[in-house]
Amino acid sequence: MTTIGILGAGQAGSTLARVAIAAGYDVVIANSRGPETLKGLVSDLGPRARAAYAADAAAAADFAVTAFRYTPDDNLPVEELAGKVVIDNNNYMVWRDGNYAEVDSGLKTIHELRQERLPTSKVVKAFTHIQFHERFLIRVPSDTLPAVSRLARPAGAPDRKALVVSSNYPEAVELVTRFYDDLGFDAVDNSPLSESWRSAPGTPMWRLHVDGQSREDLIRNLQRAQRIIL
Ligand SMILES: NC(=O)c1ccc[n+]([C@@H]2O[C@H](COP(=O)([O-])OP(=O)(O)OC[C@H]3O[C@@H](n4cnc5c(N)ncnc54)[C@H](OP(=O)(O)O)[C@@H]3O)[C@@H](O)[C@H]2O)c1
């Protein structure tokens, strides 16, 4: 059984926990406070989930997810995450996150900064451009599902969508490719992390995140991205 340590129990972390459990994973989930604040969520998620402090969730994980915005003072459990694949699903939004000069100037991507925060882990950008909430405009009943459920399809389905993955570590790309497949998505490898600006907010592929895109469209949209320098 594979256990995912999900650090971040907000909209993204809790919804990812739900779909991962449905796909057969076990989940240990944490927020920035403590497990006692997650009792309701964990009882909702069922017996394959438990809550823990972030360091304990990281220690228990076969692989982990950081489902919260980037900050340099994030108190990440570096030692407990050492040697592990860490999925970073953070989007850099200046209005929310403030400015990081190295990212704004195009010197680095936000995910390279997270890799620097976790020098002994294998950081991989994934799940940044799939919504973990319902559509803003509800037209049909399925619009009430988060896109990560609404757009999921079995392997080989003609309307299966693809999600992007970027890492400096091929084994991290392979792990996420399998995880995407288990959740109902194809993968497009856009490595290394220095190239992950191609899937940043505002890029052509990112603008299609509400309804998703096929593998071919995603490859094309990544290629036609232009770097946004602030
Ligand atoms: N929501 C989406 O549809 C979506 C889609 C794609 C990507 N994302 C990305 O996912 C990230 C999270 O978004 P969200 O909408 O889920 O935000 P959110 O609802 O505000 O949740 C953030 C969660 O992270 C926790 N947290 C913060 N710092 C932490 C730390 N150091 N260790 C452990 N947990 C920590 C918070 O815990 P406390 O409440 O205890 O502070 C909270 O549970 C963002 O970077 C966003 O860009 C979101």
Kindly state whether residue 8 falls inside one of the protein's structural domains: no
pLDDT digits (tens, 9 = 90+) for 78-110: 999 999 999 999 999 999 999 999 999 999 999
Domain that holds residue 167: 69-223
With cut-offs at 50, 70 and 90, classify the pLDDT of residue 221.
very high
Which residue has tokens 């040697």? 83
- The residue whose CB lies within 8 Å of the most ligand 1 atoms, and thus the one to mutate among 16, 39, 68, is 68
Kindly state whether residue 10 falls inside one of the protein's structural domains: no
Q: Would the pLDDT of 230 be above 90?
A: no
The helix (run of H) or strand (run of E) holding residue 114 is: helix 110-117
Kindly state whether residue 52 falls inside one of the protein's structural domains: no
Please, is 136 exposed, middle or buried when counting C-beta atoms within 10 Å of its C-beta (0-12, 13-18, 19+)? exposed
Is the distance from CB of 99 to CB of 60 less than 8 angstroms?
A: no
Q: Would the pLDDT of 228 be above 90?
A: no
pLDDT digits (tens, 9 = 90+) for 10-42: 999 999 999 999 999 999 999 999 999 999 999
Kindly state whether residue 12 falls inside one of the protein's structural domains: no
- The residue whose CB lies within 8 Å of the most ligand 1 atoms, and thus the one to mutate among 31, 128, 163, is 31
120 Cβ inside 6 Å of ligand 1? no
> CATH number for the domain including 144?
3.40.50.720
Determine the Cα–Cα distance for residues 70 and 163; give it in Å rounded to an integer.
21
**Domain total of the chain:** 1
